[in-house]
C-alpha cells in the first residue's frame, strides 16, 4: 500500500517520522509498506533483545493467550510468580512488582523510596538524580530526568530531584542533606548519549549512600537484561543497589517492566501500589521466555565477544574518517562523530538501496547502536559496510 493511502493525520503529532510504514519484522530486519527491507540497529529502542518476532516470544504469547489473559491483579497467576522468582534468583533483589513500562517502574521506585523515607528517615524525600539522565515521561520521571528544557516543559515540576554530575562523586555528596532519601541513576546514560558511569563512581556511590544511610536506585530500563554483557549493569561494578527498575529488554518487544528491591526496602502496604494490567500473565509469560534465553549458558559471553568486535570495528571507522572514537558497555555503543552530522547519516542510511539501514542519533554528534543481543557477526559486518558507504558520502 502507498504511503499516501495511510491517514497518518488521525494520529497526534509527537515526533517527525519518515514517510514509511513498517509491516513486518524478523530478527535484525524490518520490512516497510513498499516491501523494502532495513537492517535495524534501533530494535524498538533497545527493546527487542532477541530481535523482531523471535519464535520464543510468539510461542509464549500464543500458548499463554490460549490459557489465561488476565485474572485481575487482585489474584496470583503462575507466570507472574514464576518470573518474580527467577528475577530474584538471578539478581541481588528479593521482591518484585511488575509494571507496563519503564516510566511506570521508575515512578514506583520513587514512591517506594519516599515511603521508606517516611518510615525510616523522618520523611526525607529528595532523590538525587543526574544531569542528562533519562527516567521516563510521567510528570515525576520527567522531573527526575536531567534533560535540558524539561524543567520548564510542563511546569510546575514534581519537586525533590536535585541534579548532580555523572562520574563526579563530590557533586553528589554536596547535595546530600537530611531531606535526602536516595540517589538514582542509569548505570549507562542511554538517551543522554551512551555515557557509562565508571566502575569507580558506582563503587563510590554505594559507599557514600551506605555512609549516609540512604538508598541507591539503579534505572536499568536500558542497561539491564544482558545489554551490557552482564545480566544487569550494576554487576559490572560488583556492587549491590537497594532498588532496580527494568523494562525495554525484559519484554523483548512487549510492554513489561519491573521494580525490584531488597527485603529491607520492601515497605509498600496494601493500597500503596497497584495497576490493572500489572503482573498480567500474558506479558510475564513473555518475560520468562526472554530471561530463559538470556541466561542460557554462553549467551552473555557471546554478547561480550560481539561487543568487543563492534567496539574495535567502530574505532577503525573512526580512525579512517577522522572521528572521535566510540564508547559504551556491551551492545549499547555510540560512535562519536566529531561533527553534527548524525541526523544526515541517519537519513542517508535509511534511504540506501536496495536495503536500508536504521540508525539512531540521540545527539547530533553521535550515533547509537542497540542491536538485538543475538545479532550475528555477519549482521554486524553488513552494518559496518553500509555505514562506511554512508560516511564516504557524508564526509566527502
Ligand atoms: C526508555 C527508558 C525509560 C522509559 O521507559 P518507557 O518504557 O519508555 O516508559 C526510563 N529509563 C531509561 C533509562 C530508559 O532508557
Query: pTM for this one?
Result: 0.98
* Ligand 1 geometric centre to CA of 247 (Å): 7
Q: Kind and range of the H or E element at 129?
A: strand 126-130
- For ligand 1, what atom is nearest to the CA of residue 248? 7
For domain 69-294, which architecture applies?
3-Layer(aba) Sandwich (3.40)
- Provide the 3-class DSSP secondary structure of residue 256: coil
Q: Which residues of 326-352 are buried (b: 16+ CB within 10 A; e: fewer)?
A: bbbbbbbbbbbbeeebbebbbebbbeb
Helix then strand then coil, in percent of the chain rounded to 5, is 40, 20, 40
Look-up of cell digits 577522522:
322
3-state secondary structure of 374: coil
Q: What is the pLDDT of residues 45-75, one digit of tens each?
A: 999 999 999 999 999 999 999 999 999 999 9
Contacts of 386 (CB under 8 A, 6+ apart): 39, 349, 352, 357
Q: Which is the closest atom of ligand 1 to the Cα of 106?
A: 10
Task: Verify whether ligand 1 is closer than 6 Å to residue 186 (CB atom).
Answer: yes
Give the CA count within 13 Å in the CB-facing half-sphere of 34: 13
121 CB near ligand 1 (under 6 Å) = no
Q: Is the CB of 371 under 6 A from ligand 1?
A: no
Write out the three cell numbers for 250.
525484559
Nearest to 140 by CA among 219, 193, 248: 219
pLDDT of residue 26: 98
Cα distance between residue 344 and residue 161, in whole Å: 35
Gyration radius (Cα) of the chain, Å: 21
If one residue of 134, 243, 246 were mutated to test the ligand 1 pocket, choosing by the most ligand atoms within 8 A of its CB, it would be 134
Question: Which ligand 1 atom lies nearest to the CA of residue 191?
Answer: 15
Ligand 1 pocket, mutate which of 136, 186, 334 (most atoms under 8 A from CB): 136
Residue 113 in contact with ligand 1 by CB distance below 6 A: no
Q: CA 260 to CA 266: how far, in whole Å?
A: 9
CA of 354 to the centre of ligand 1 (A): 33
Mutate to test the pocket of ligand 1, among 190, 223, 362 (most ligand atoms within 8 A of CB): 190
233 and 227 in contact (C-beta within 8 Å)?
yes
The separation between CA 39 and the C-alpha centre of its own chain, rounded to angstroms, equals 20
**Series of mean pLDDT values for 10-residue runs along the chain (396 residues):** 94 95 98 98 97 98 98 96 98 98 98 98 98 98 96 94 98 98 98 97 98 98 98 98 98 98 98 97 98 98 98 98 98 97 98 98 97 98 98 90
For the CA of 255, the nearest atom of ligand 1:
7
Domain residue spans of the chain: 69-294
Which of ligand 1's atoms lies nearest the C-alpha of 45?
1
pLDDT, tens digit, 9 for 90 and up, residues 332-391 = 999 999 999 999 999 999 999 999 999 999 999 999 999 999 999 999 999 999 999 999
Distance of CA 251 to the CA centre of its chain: 11
Q: Whole-angstrom Cα distance, residue 87 to residue 78?
A: 14
Report the nearest-CA residue for atom 11 of ligand 1. 135
Query: Distance from the CA of 221 to the center of ligand 1, in angstroms?
Result: 5
Count of Cβ atoms closer than 10 Å to residue 224 Cβ: 31
Residue 136 beta carbon below 6 angstroms from any ligand 1 atom: yes
The pLDDT of residue 396: 75
Amino acid at each position: 500500500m502507498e504511503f499516501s493511502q495511510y491517514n497518518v493525520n488521525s494520529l497526534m503529532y509527537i515526533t517527525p517520522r519518515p514517510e514509511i510504514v513498517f509491516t513486518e519484522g524478523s530478527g535484525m530486519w524490518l520490512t516497510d509498506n513498499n516491501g523494502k527491507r532495513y537492517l535495524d540497529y534501533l530494535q524498538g529502542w533497545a527493546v527487542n533483545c532477541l530481535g523482531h518476532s523471535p519464535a520464543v516470544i510468539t510461542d509464549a504469547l500464543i500458548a499463554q493467550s490460549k490459557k489465561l489473559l488476565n485474572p485481575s491483579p487482585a489474584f496470583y497467576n503462575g507466570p507472574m510468580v514464576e518470573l518474580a522468582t527467577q528475577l530474584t534468583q538471578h539478581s541481588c533483589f528479593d521482591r518484585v512488582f511488575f509494571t507496563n513500562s519503564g516510566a511506570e517502574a521508575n515512578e514506583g521506585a520513587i514512591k517506594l523510596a519516599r515511603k521508606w523515607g517516611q518510615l525510616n528517615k523522618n520523611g526525607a524525600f529528595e532523590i538525587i538524580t543526574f544531569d542528562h539522565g533519562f527516567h521516563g515521561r510521567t510528570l515525576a520521571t520527567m522531573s527526575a530526568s536531567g534533560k535540558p528544557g524539561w524543567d520548564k516543559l510542563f511546569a510546575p515540576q514534581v519537586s525533590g530531584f536535585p541534579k548532580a554530575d555523572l562520574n563526579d562523586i563530590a557533586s553528589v555528596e554536596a547535595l546530600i542533606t537530611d531531606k535526602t532519601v536516595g540517589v538514582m541513576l542509569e548505570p549507562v546514560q542511554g538517551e543522554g548519549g551512551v555515557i557509562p558511569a565508571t566502575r569507580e563512581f558506582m563503587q563510590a556511590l554505594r559507599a557514600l549512600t551506605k555512609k549516609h544511610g540512604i538508598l541507591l536506585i539503579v534505572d536499568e530500563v536500558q542497561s539491564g537484561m544482558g545489554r551490557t554483557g552482564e545480566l544487569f549493569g550494576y554487576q559490572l561494578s560488583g556492587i549491590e543497589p537497594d532498588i532496580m527498575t527494568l523494562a525495554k529488554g525484559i519484554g523483548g518487544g512487549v510492554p513489561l517492566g519491573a521494580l525490584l528491591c531488597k527485603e529491607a526496602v520492601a515497605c509498600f502496604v496494601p493500597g500503596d501500589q497497584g495497576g490493572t494490567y500489572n503482573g498480567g500473565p500474558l506479558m510475564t509469560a513473555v518475560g520468562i521466555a526472554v530471561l530463559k534465553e538470556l541466561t542460557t549458558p554462553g549467551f552473555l559471553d557471546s554478547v561480550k565477544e560481539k561487543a568487543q568486535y563492534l567496539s574495535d570495528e567502530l574505532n577503525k571507522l573512526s580512525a579512517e574518517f577522522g572521528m572521535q572514537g566510540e564508547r559504551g558497555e556491551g551492545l549499547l555503543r555510540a560512535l562519536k562523530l566529531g561533527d553534527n552530522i548524525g541526523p544526515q547519516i541517519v537519513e542517508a542510511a535509511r534511504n540506501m538501496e536496495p536495503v536500508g539501514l536504521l540508525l539512531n542519533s540521540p545527539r547530533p554528534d553521535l550515533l547509537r547502536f542497540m542491536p538485538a543481543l543475538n545479532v550475528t557477526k555477519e549482521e554486524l559486518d553488513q552494518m559496518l559496510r553500509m555505514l562506511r558507504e554512508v560516511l564516504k558520502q557524508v564526509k566527502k
